[in-house]
Amino acid sequence: MLSFWQTLPRPIFMLSPMAGVTDSAFRQLAKKFGADVVYTEFISTAGLHFSPDAPHGRLEFTEGERPVVCQIFGSEPEFFYQAAQRIEREGFDGVDINFGCPAKKVVNSGGGITMLRDLDRSYEIIQATCEAVRNIPVSVKTRVSVGCVDDNGTKARERHTVLDLIDKIRDLPVEALILHGRPYETPFAGEPDYEMMRRAREAFNGIFIANGGVSTPEYARTMLERTGADGIALARGVYGKPWLFRQIKDFLAWNAYVEPDPATICQIALEHAEELVRLKGKERGIREMRKHLVWYTKGWDGAKELRRELVRVLTLADIQKLLASQTEREWSFVPYSSS
């Protein structure tokens, strides 16, 4: 039986997991605007292990999000085995192993990019995850490299790269590799290491997804051309721009794409807010929506003053009133872009 990865069109466009962002409400928007596969916020395997019967909001999704993959992080193979089994029982289309997150909280717990320093433990984790599931594929997300440390905790000259990981796990049935083009030490700055990404593409016998800094359709095409990837994972580039998926697909097909006008953006933002409130309740939903509202309105005339009001909204009516005041203004915008 083919996994969902094998049925997707090429190139593949994926919503990458982001804590506090890629909840069900945002995943639904991403799917609406052309994402081929969406990932959950990452989940701690230790948390699932120590609270196995507790409900977990990050394990909830709608049928319209499919294919939807659940990403997990941690450092204990046994916990990954248990988590992967639960993820399959919950009905997800795939399980992803986080070997790339540079966040201090994750790194300090021994997870994320830390695992690239310990290839033996990485192998054990991936092996346990693959053995735990029967009918869904396993993928791995990591970075191009990480500096290693010696027994005293000081920096060593040795580095481990994604090529080391690929060579280590060659016999395991990992179906997809999602690779961020920047190393751990500069996680969000600088140009991706295209050479290392292309070498990883050539070395990995599976679906290869490139990630790292894609925020425009033009850059998406550059990433595909320079890495030879089967697709792209979008992350921070979709902050306030869930329609970026559609723009990229249009640009690749016709060399042009539509920029939504402020009225359209306001409507999308309001729909987003309504879904967040429905899923999480008024207080939490509005609180989490505030950062999205700031992203949606970034770069607008008078954005600084508008942000002061948006971060204080308490109700959907507040949001609707503020956004309505913006659509009544006269705007100049470029209706499409082309190279």
Compute CA distances 45 → 42, 125, 301, whole Å: 9, 11, 44
Catalytic residue among 70, 101, 130, 266: 101
E strands within the chain? 12-15, 37-39, 43-44, 68-73, 94-99, 138-143, 145-149, 155-161, 174-180, 207-211, 231-234, 256-258, 336-338
Q: Name residue, tokens 């201090």.
A: 104
Compute CA distances 179 → 22, 198, 201, 248, whole Å: 18, 10, 9, 19
Residue 29: CB atoms within 10 A of its CB come to 22
Q: Name residue, tokens 């010696």.
A: 150
Contact 83, 48 (CB under 8 A): yes
Q: What is the CA radius of gyration of the chain?
A: 20
> Is 130 annotated in the active site?
no
- Annotated catalytic residues are 101
